[in-house]
């Protein structure tokens, strides 16, 4: 039974600019999938309801990075704990080289000025 709600308002959204390592690309697709399911997925499961991941492939458009991990967190502490867990795996700076991390809050300017955010 899932005790964590899957929907939450993100207090923090962080964009990780990462590049696949030669080691990662040397694996077969099946091996990469197994690593993701055995290593990354349990961390996502542990933080379900507090942290969400959206994984964007961008290697088609730039050579600087291959992927963007958009990590939405319910609170800063959950984000920090998630990062600590991820750093202890080969996904952080072995399989994927972390180039930049950009944290942000959705429409913080509107919240700070107590106005409605722009809509599209």
pTM over 0.75: yes
Which pLDDT tens digit goes with each residue over 68-112? 999 999 999 999 999 999 999 999 999 999 999 999 988 989 999
CB atoms closer than 10 angstroms to residue 82 = 20
Domains of the chain: 12-111 (3.30.70.1030)
Predicted confidence at residue 6, as pLDDT, reads 65
User: Using CA atoms, how far apart are residues 99 and 91, in angstroms rounded to an integer?
Assistant: 13
Which pLDDT tens digit goes with each residue over 15-30? 999 999 999 999 999 9
The 3-state DSSP class for residue 21 equals coil
User: Using CA atoms, how far apart are residues 73 and 49, in angstroms rounded to an integer?
Assistant: 9
């Amino acid at each position: 039974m899932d005790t964590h709600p899957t929907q939450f308002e993100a207090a923090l959204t962080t964009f990780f600019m990462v590049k696949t390592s030669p080691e990662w690309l040397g694996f077969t697709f099946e091996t990469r999938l197994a690593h993701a399911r055995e290593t990354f997925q349990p961390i996502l499961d542990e933080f379900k309801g507090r942290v969400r991941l959206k994984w964007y492939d961008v290697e088609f458009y730039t050579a600087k990075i291959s992927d963007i991990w958009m990590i939405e967190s319910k609170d800063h502490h959950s984000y920090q704990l998630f990062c600590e867990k991820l750093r202890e795996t080969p996904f952080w700076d072995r399989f994927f080289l972390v180039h930049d991390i950009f944290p942000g809050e959705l429409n913080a300017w509107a919240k700070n000025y107590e106005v409605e955010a722009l809509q599209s």
